[in-house]
Amino acid sequence: MATKGKGSKVNKTWLYDHLNDPYVKLAQKEGYRARAVYKLKEIDEEHRLLAKAQVIVDLGCAPGAWCQYLSRKLNLTLESEGNVLGPKVVGVDLLPMEPVAGIHFIQGDFQDDAILAQLESAVGGRPVDAVVSDMAPNLSGHSATDGARIENLIEMAVDFAQHHLKPDGVMVAKVFHGPGYDHLVGLFRDTFKQSKPYKPKASRSRSSEVFLIGQGLRKSVC
């Protein structure tokens, strides 16, 4: 009984915080699907990462708030997806996502070779300006296991960036403080000419999430 009561109290606290969250209210007002959009928006505006980006890959894109931001930023429309020379955004996620104007969505596991091949095909052989990743594995609660899963996801994302980004391309990836964090910071430092961790204001203070930002590949395989 005590456990049930504690869980109920936590759920009520989360619901209260969520309903009174200014970013939740702003997302509803501006028509975004999730408050997470303001994390990418702040990172972009603070560091001017996407000012000239035309080809962008969004990993872990559901429910689609980041895709919405990118669609609006690049002025994409329903007809944009078929334009092989214009701005292009490709999103990938295990979960389904409601359509977003101009976004090419692929549902599947980014770690699956078949899904990766679909992603490469969707990009159409064009070098990528930016890779943004809000991916996170289903957490088990076991810090070492979860840390290893996060490491694996980000390592694959960085490998994709090395093979598809332009030499001056950029990458943003969500990671978490804990096991494996220092390794991922080092991976970004070794991969990009400029790298830094950044915690947007929209990230809740109690959350261990932080975003790693990389700019300019040290060695392009593209």
The predicted pLDDT at position 161 comes to 97
Per-residue pLDDT, averaged over 62-87, amounts to 90
User: pTM for the whole thing?
Assistant: 0.89
* Predicted confidence (pLDDT) at residue 98 exceeds the cutoff of 50: yes
Q: Yes or no: say if 193 and 217 are a contact pair by the CB < 8 Å rule.
A: yes
Q: Which CA distances in Å does 8 have to 1, 5, 206? A: 11, 5, 19
Give the number of other Cβ atoms within 10 Å of residue 72's Cβ: 17
Catalytic residue among 41, 88, 166, 174: 174
The predicted pLDDT at position 1 comes to 39
Closest CA to 127 of 177, 199, 52: 52
Q: Domain 32-217 is in which class?
A: alpha beta
Q: Residues within the annotated binding site? A: 64, 66, 93, 109, 134
Q: Give Cβ neighbours of residue 5 (< 8 Å, ≥ 6 apart).
A: none
The DSSP annotation for 76-137 comes to --TTGGG-SSS-EEEEEESS-----TTEEEEES-TTSHHHHHHHHHHHTTPPEEEEEE---P
Q: Any idea which of 89-93, 147-151, 167-171, 173-177 has the lowest mean pLDDT?
A: 147-151
pLDDT category of residue 215 using cuts at 50, 70 and 90: very high
Share of the chain above pLDDT 90, in %: 75
Q: List the structure tokens of 98.
A: 């409601």
Q: List the structure tokens of 21.
A: 């969250």
Q: What is the pLDDT of residues 17-45, one digit of tens each?
A: 556 799 999 999 999 999 999 999 999 99
Closest CA to 136 of 68, 67, 65, 211: 211
Q: Residues within the annotated binding site for S-adenosyl-L-methionine? A: 64, 66, 93, 109, 134
* Predicted confidence (pLDDT) at residue 2 exceeds the cutoff of 50: no
Per-residue pLDDT, averaged over 143-168, amounts to 91
Per-residue pLDDT, averaged over 157-178, amounts to 96
Active site residue 174: yes
Dihedral through CA 57, CA 58, CA 64, CA 69, nearest 10?
-70
CA–CA dist 131, 212 (Å, integer): 12
More confident position, 126 or 219: 126
pLDDT category of residue 4 using cuts at 50, 70 and 90: very low
CA–CA dist 43, 67 (Å, integer): 15
* Paired sense of beta strands 209-217 and 165-176, if any: antiparallel
